[in-house]
Amino acid sequence: MTGSLSRDMILTIIVSAILIWIMPLMIATYTLTVLVIYGMLGLSLGLIWGFGGILCFGQAAFFGLGAYTYAIAAINIGESTVPMILAVLVPAIFAALLGAMMFYGRLTDVYLGVITLVVTLILFKFMNSTAGPQYVIGKARMGGFNGIPGFQTLNVPGDPDAYIWGDAYFYVCAVALAIVFVLVSALLRSSFGRVAVGIRENETRIALMGYDVRARKTVLFAVGAAIAGLAGALFANWGEIVTPNLFSLSQSAEIIIWCIVGGLGTRLGPILGAAGLAYLKFLLGQQSMIDNTLIMGLILVLFVLFLPRGIVPALASLWRISFGRRPLGRIHQVRRTRNREGTGG
């Protein structure tokens, strides 16, 4: 990563300002809002998987948990500020506990995937079975597979009657995504972020350097869950209802597909992957000629076969090849240094 943080930040602000201005001219803000929210959800997994090497099959669990937390808290409190904060904190704490259990238990790779998957399934099953009147938190009924409708939606902090909706809500979500993006960038530039990338690359080496891998992975996992939780709360506000489908397997799988198609190990990739695929799904949903899950599956297969690193890394290397400075290839460089040192292979 080159360039300074402030330059990065200014660039982010300019680009997002332009996008926030231009995009509503092309796509209805109602649709755009959900694309932005999915972008944030994609970024949350992109952070922990692409940079931390933690493949979580249950990012939807944190998304759903954020949405449910918001809905339940909003019904009980009647003003949206505290519920928004809770919707970030609850998934983060849940992830910290779950993460601590997994990472301190030295679970890795596929087992981690299994555990996160199962947790998502448990939440899905549980939320579906809460139709009875005994499932109540405060004033909020859990509602089983019907979910929770009719909660207080986002309002201007301190003024419960000043709802934020429509175009204004889109701007709130877009700005929230830009802020999260800047924060994620800052995190990745910090020592913590660089060590996280080191963990992704070689856990044993990082441990032998004296870093506590378990604690760091737990923290990163919780940060990812916090972002997913925020996205969930924004989604709840957008849909004005939360249902157990938020926890569904297809939702979890979709997040992973967004990251793969967009490009792992980049910040923009998962956002673009999420927004792009969700928009495609939206367009495909308007026709009935071909089933859209079929198209989604086809896209994933094509990407894995032909563009396994995803769109953003592919575009980045295309950019470097076409416009970038052309340093001597690695082979020349090595030959040069070897010659200079008077040594052979």
Contact residues for other proteins (CB under 8 A)?
Answer: 191, 194-195, 197-198, 201-202, 204-213, 330, 333-334, 336-337, 340-341, 343, 345
Q: List all residues 6 or more positions away from 26 whose beta carbon is below 8 Å from its beta carbon.
A: none
DSSP string, 162-203: EE--HHHHHHHHHHHHHHHHHHHHHHHHSHHHHHHHHHHH-H
Q: Which is nearer to other proteins, 158 or 345 (CB)?
A: 345
Q: How far is the CB of 213 from other proteins (least distance, A)?
A: 7
Cα-trace Rg, the chain: 22
Is-contact 247 31, C-beta < 8 A? no
- The DSSP call for residue 327 is P
Shortest Å, Cβ 208 to other proteins: 5
Q: How far is the CB of 330 from other proteins (least distance, A)?
A: 6
Is the CB of 1 or the CB of 110 nearer to other proteins?
A: 1
Nearer to other proteins, 201 or 291 (CB): 201
Strand 241-242 relative to strand 148-149, pairing: antiparallel
Which amino acid, 79?
A: E
Which residue lies nearer to other proteins by CB, 134 or 204? 204
DSSP symbol at 130: -
Residue 152 amino acid letter? Q
- CB closer to other proteins, 46 vs 58: 46
The distance of closest approach from Cβ of residue 198 to other proteins in the complex, given in angstroms and rounded to an integer, is 5
**Least distance in angstroms from the C-beta of 180 to other proteins:** 24
